[in-house]
Structure formats: structure tokens, C-alpha cells
Amino acid sequence: MIIKSFELSKLNSYKFNLHLIFGNNEGIKDDIIRDFYLKKFDGEILKYDEQEIFNNKEEFLSSLFTKSLFETSKLIIISRGSDKLASLVTEILENTIEDVKIIIKCSNLEKKSKLRNLFEKEKNIVCTPVYEDDNRSLNSLINTFLREQNISLSQEIKNILIERSKGDRINLKNELLKLKSLSISKHKLSTEDVLKLSNLAENYSVFELSDNYLAKNSKKVSNILNENNYSPEDCILIIRTILSKSKRLLKIRNEIDNNENIDQVISSFKPPIFWKEKDVVKKQAQSWSTEEVKKIILKVNDLETLVKKNSVNSILFVSNFVSNY
């Protein structure tokens, strides 16, 4: 039986003795195991790699099918699973296991996978595919954490955290946990607070560079370039930050073109523009026409393609781009 990850909270997946979780997102796998099993389980937790089980298969099966008088319930987590486990699962299904729950973690399984097909077709066991995170799901993760901790962050800082986590929710959660300690004394965290605490301070200039480029502040852009020793990784962050801010600027320009007052557009913009950003955003909106912003977006996309093909010269490419209007 297939149960999608977002359906797990509605269904009692805990009633199933066998649960296959497959895909390349280790963070979501860990979240599912923690939220739907570990939080409510008080028995013995055993962890195996697939190979460990096959090295001692008979002993493993014996421990499943026999239970001593004083033995507690078991939660078995099998990592690095593959199709080799299909025959083992079939053997388990042919017998009765009591007070044992088995979770199998696999990387991506193709549709023709024997293990995947077995779990999808059997009604008494469950499988859950997990997918790579995108900005929306990572934003949701951040917002849930901030709400639970009563912390306030600007969207710009959320974007920084997402970008620097490289789309990995485990990395992102590590950064968020660092914020938790600081939030004890401060509910409203500044850009500087977050960057210093999350080891991102060296990249704060990336966002200054992007803002000043779009504000056509060539002198400030030159100073930032001279003061910072950017890496190829930073160049990708610069490109994507300019792209993100350019897309926001395009929406603002479109509203202004519809005979809207610039101050009103910025004040009512959704998602809200952080108050510290409003002046620079206004200058950006006054510096470019709508058509010019569209051209920037196209050029930035081309720049990213160029940088990825030739990372050795990425710093030169990016420096030339932000220095010329």
C-alpha cells in the first residue's frame, strides 16, 4: 500500500508492521521515522544495514519469530536497503510477528523494483516515496520551526538559510537549531545575528552585492568586490540571489506600471519586504524599467549556465557582470 508522506499524519501508519521509505531525501526519511515511530515507541530499537542482516540471516529471522517471556517490543530500522530484501520481506509476511515493527530505508527505487512492487501491492504493509525538497518545502520547514519557537525572521534571511543549506533539510535543521539558543534572549533576530550564529557572516556581502547591483550603486559594488575573496560556491549564491531579487523587482515594476504608487506597492507587497530593505528596493525600482528587469533575469540565467560550465573563471564572470550595467 502506498501512503504519501503528507498523508501519514491522517493515517495510522504505526499500525503496520512493515514500512518501506524510499527516495534520495534522507532528511524526510529521518523526520518520518522520528515523528511517526520514535516519538511513540518505548521498546527496544535495533538498527541494521542490509548487509548485516544477510551476514546473519537465520539469526535475524529467529529473533523476529520467537519471543522470550521478558522481551519488550522491537523497532527495527534497516538502512541501505535494496531489492535483495524482497525475498526476506516475503518470508516475514508468510509468518506471524508480534510486537515488532520494521522500517526499511532505501535510496530511489525504480518502478520495476521487486521490493517497491511488493510493498505497493500488499495491503498489510506500507511504502512511502520521498522526494527532493524545493524552496517551498524548505520555507515551510523554516516557518514551522519559527512558529514553534516564537522567532521572527525576514524572508531574506530565510532565503539565505535555504541557499546555504544547499537544499538539504538536515543542513537546514542544523542551522535552525543554532537559532534556538539565541532566541531565548531575542525573539526578533537581525540579519547580523543569524549570519554570525550560522557561520554565514562571510557571505553577508553576497546580499549587499546583489542589492547594490540592482540599485546601480557601482561604487559600493566595486568596494564589496575588492573587500571579499569570493569562492566559486559564492558565485552561484550571488547569481541566485540576484535572480531571486530580480524576480521580486519585476513584480514590483509590473505593479508600478499599472499606475500604482511606488511607496504603496512596496508597503503592500506580498510577501512583505523587510523594513530595512524598503529604501534600497525603492531605489532598485526607480533604477530599471520593466523591460530592463526582464533582460536582467535572462542574462542571470545565462550567467549561471556559463559559470557551471567554467567554474575556474566563475569569479571573473560574476565580477564583470555586476560591474557593467
- Measure the CA–CA gap between 103 and 36, rounded to whole angstroms: 11
> What integer best gives the mean pLDDT of the chain?
86
pLDDT at site 187 = 61
**Confidence (pTM):** 0.57
Cα first-last separation, the chain = 56
Kindly report, residue by residue over 46-85, the tens digit of the pLDDT: 899 999 999 989 888 888 887 766 667 889 999 989 999 9
| Pairing mode, strands 126-129 and 44-49 | unpaired
- Burial grade of 314 (CB within 10 A; 0-12, 13-18, 19 or more): buried
Reference 79, options 17, 1, 40, 22; nearest CA is 22
Kindly report, residue by residue over 22-32, the tens digit of the pLDDT: 998 888 999 99
Whose cell is 531571486? That residue is 244
pLDDT at site 14 = 59
pLDDT at site 197 = 62
Please state the rounded mean pLDDT for residues 222-239. 84
Reference 16, options 114, 93, 129; nearest CA is 93
Whose cell is 531579487? That residue is 245
Kindly report, residue by residue over 273-284, the tens digit of the pLDDT: 767 688 999 999
User: Binning pLDDT at 50, 70 and 90, where does residue 166 land?
Assistant: low
- Measure the CA–CA gap between 247 and 73, rounded to whole angstroms: 54
| Least-confidence region, from 32-46, 99-113, 155-169 | 155-169
**Contact assessment for residue 53 and residue 79, using Cβ atoms and an 8 Å cutoff:** no
- Other beta carbons within 10 angstroms of residue 89's beta carbon come to 20
- Measure the CA–CA gap between 291 and 116, rounded to whole angstroms: 50
**Contact assessment for residue 196 and residue 188, using Cβ atoms and an 8 Å cutoff:** no
What does the block give as the cell for 232? Answer: 566559486
Reference 191, options 167, 159, 169; nearest CA is 159
Helix (H, G, I), strand (E, B) or coil at 35: helix
